[in-house]
Amino acid sequence: MVQIVLPDGSQRDFPAPVTVAEVAQSIGSGLARAALAGRVSYDGKPSTLVDTSHLIERDAHLAIVTGKDPDGLEILRHSTAHLMAYALQDLFPEAQVTIGPVIENGFYYDFAYERPFTPEDLEAIEKRMMELARKDEVVTREVWSRNEARDFFLSVGEKYKAEIIDSIPENETLTMYREGSFIDLCRGPHVPSTGKLKVFKLMKVAGAYWRGDSKNEMLQRIYGTAWNSKEEQDAYLKMLEEAEKRDHRRIGRELDLFHFQEEGPGLVFWHPKGWTLWQQVEQYMRQVFRDNGYQEVKAPQILDLSLWKKTGHWDNYRENMFTTESENRVYGLKPMNCPGHVQIFNSSLHSYRDLPLRYGEFGQCHRNEPSGSLHGMMRVRGFTQDDGHIFCTEDQLQDECAAFTALLKKVYADFGFDNVLYKVATRPEKRIGDDEVWDKAEHALMESLRRTGCEFEISPGEGAFYGPKIEYTLKDAIGRHWQCGTIQVDFSMPVRLGAEYVDANDQRRTPVMLHRAILGSLERFIGMLIENHAGALPAWLAPVQAVVCCISASSSPYADEIAQSLKKQGFRVESDLRGEKITYKIREHSLQKVPYILVVGDKESQAGTVAVRARGGKDLGVMPLAEFSARLAEEVATRRDDIRTQQETA
């Protein structure tokens, strides 16, 4: 007798071993049709994802996985990646299949083929995928010996698969998944048959080095997306379409904010308007530093390699570091600011009365990111962090973490983000420090979030090598998630670098070090801001807050007078005195997404007024200059996005 316990606590007894599919069928035919896999647990141990063909031979807990579950969606995508490889090899038999994982919102597979795949090829592959899915071929799991699998792939010309298997110990057994004439190496699980794969789309082709190593040959990576329903896929494709319109790289060119070029890969060339935007963000954050007890500091860009070895960065992060040499000494270009801040702390002896001690820096860092991962300002090699480090006692730890979360929520609200997601990233496999220290650090972070009333998720193994962290993720205007802020608890680096304070009993103690950033990379955050607002930044951030346009040459002196008056009041204003038609001027500055366009002619000149147009074409009417100035000043001081609010309520 085999007893199965379901998620609702109910039990089902079977006279003999039973498959996941048979359990689903016993519950109902609808669930049986929807079942993609099972999550089974034996003897109270963590559950494991298994195929519906998995045979349960003894008492177990079981959850049936469908496409509505996160696990089910991942299985759909993984199985669709295999379907794509099946279809591609059916059309292009000489193509070699390499690696094809699930990624956020979809999947990809890398292929080796003699010529580049074209958009027409993708259409043909997708069409063939549809045909194979309609055949509803059974997907079966097979167990092979390591050598048997290697010999098979070599026999069919799949040298990349054979190379993967070469890295697996000889005594290992491997799982293979077969559908129709296609067979692939995979851990699984997979859908029970190709007919479960109904909603998918191939997106694009890109280059990718074999195993991500630029020394290896270039392969072709085909990206796709797959969903449980057509409605979900349509919503995703619509989001992508909107995201394309908001792409910060395109908007950066159109608004003359910044550019990138091959001679500086992963580095930003800031133009005057873009640097003005940068300064608004930086000066706002500098005020946050001042208002919350941070002392601003500046540490060197390069430090001797011996220091990076002491901190653990060289052993755990060297592949991401740039190095340089001078006079037979090797230096590391800093990928992060923390070691420099510890040196500043160590420059004098501190009392417990000095703690918590908060340092802040707009520190420029460099990381040797792979060229294939670079993406505008979202993934760069050179960036600036609104970085800070708090040196405190263990007793102060939770208060500091809770205060930081409260501060971060206020800052995000000022930038227009009210939807914040919280994740606690726990100890990774590769780390420094013992488990007792990690226990204390993880507990402190979780308790600080509970104290501030924040619900959070756990991200197992995603912490930094020196400590766990809270990751703060923002949801933007079109539903995308961006991980920005973080706070990390570090018991290890202060010990490694000899940081100490004197306690109330005149004893030397090691402080706890909190690594924290609110915006994270300023480059990335500004790119995110641009995309969130589609370039139509609120007035307090806009590089140009208003443009004064004259209708005719006779009103140009008055227009210039208005512009100069507003500039003296501290506003970022330009005047357009060209002899172009006023409709042309308005259209041009509207395309530049300027918050306010002030139009003046002879009538306004005589009356001492301005005709005000808000972004989006909203006519605010004619008003005295003082009234407009007061309006703009209040909007900037309160950091409200009045224009967007008016458009949303119109």
Catalytic residue annotation? 338, 367, 385, 387, 389, 469, 515
For residue 509, give the nearest of 305, 369, 352 by alpha carbon.
352
Q: Which alpha helices (H) appear in 167-298, and where do they start and end?
A: 230-246, 248-254, 272-291
Give the helix ranges, DSSP H, for 247-394: 248-254, 272-291, 305-311, 313-317, 338-346
3-state helix, strand, coil in the chain (%, to 5): 40, 30, 30
Q: Which residues contact 577 (CB under 8 A, 6 or more apart)?
A: 550, 556, 559, 560
In angstroms, the CA 511 to CA 597 distance is 54
CB atoms within 10 A of CB 547: 24
Task: Please tell me the distance from the alpha carbon of residue 455 to that of residue 421, in angstroms, as a whole number.
Answer: 8
Dihedral sign for Cα 146, 150, 153, 155, please: negative
Q: How far apart are the C-alpha atoms of 189 and 192, rounded to whole Å?
A: 9
Cα 426 to Cα 352, 431, 466, distances in angstroms = 29, 11, 11
Residue 53 tokens read as 């063909």
350 appears as a binding residue in the annotation: no
What CA–CA distance (Å, rounded) separates 370 from 532?
Answer: 26
Please provide residue 206's backbone torsions phi and psi, each rounded to the nearest 5 degrees: -140, 165
User: For residue 235, which phi and psi values (nearest 5 degrees)?
Assistant: -65, -40
Paired tokens of 332: 């590391």
Is 78 known to sit in a ligand binding site?
A: no
Residue 506's Cα: distance from chain center in Å? Answer: 46
Beta strands in 500-647 (DSSP E): 501-502, 508-509, 512-521, 546-550, 573-576, 596-600, 609-614, 618-624
Measured between alpha carbons, how far is residue 267 from residues 375, 467, 521 in Å?
10, 29, 13
Rounded Cα gap, residues 625 and 609, in angstroms: 6
Q: Which amino acid is at 466?
A: Y
Report CA 172 to chain centroid distance, whole Å: 36
202-206: long-range pairs with CB below 8 Å, 24+: 202/84, 202/122, 202/125, 202/126, 202/129, 203/106, 204/122, 205/116, 205/117, 205/122
Coil, strand or helix at 560: helix
Contact 337, 385 (CB under 8 A): yes
Residue 389 is labelled as binding a ligand: yes
Helix (H, G, I), strand (E, B) or coil at 142: strand
Q: Do 213 and 372 contact (CB within 8 A), yes or no?
A: no
**Distances from the Cα of 98 to the Cα of 220, 321, 371, 431, angstroms:** 10, 29, 21, 31
Exposure string of 106-142, with b = 16+ CB inside 10 Å and e = fewer, is bbbbbbbeeeebeeebbebbeebbeebbeeebebebe
Number of Cβ atoms within 10 Å of the Cβ of 233: 19
> Of the candidates 443, 596, 593, 447, which has an alpha carbon nearest to the alpha carbon of residue 533?
593
Residues paired with 65 in a beta bridge = 37
Query: Can you say which residues are annotated as belonging to the binding site for Zn(2+)?
Result: 338, 389, 515
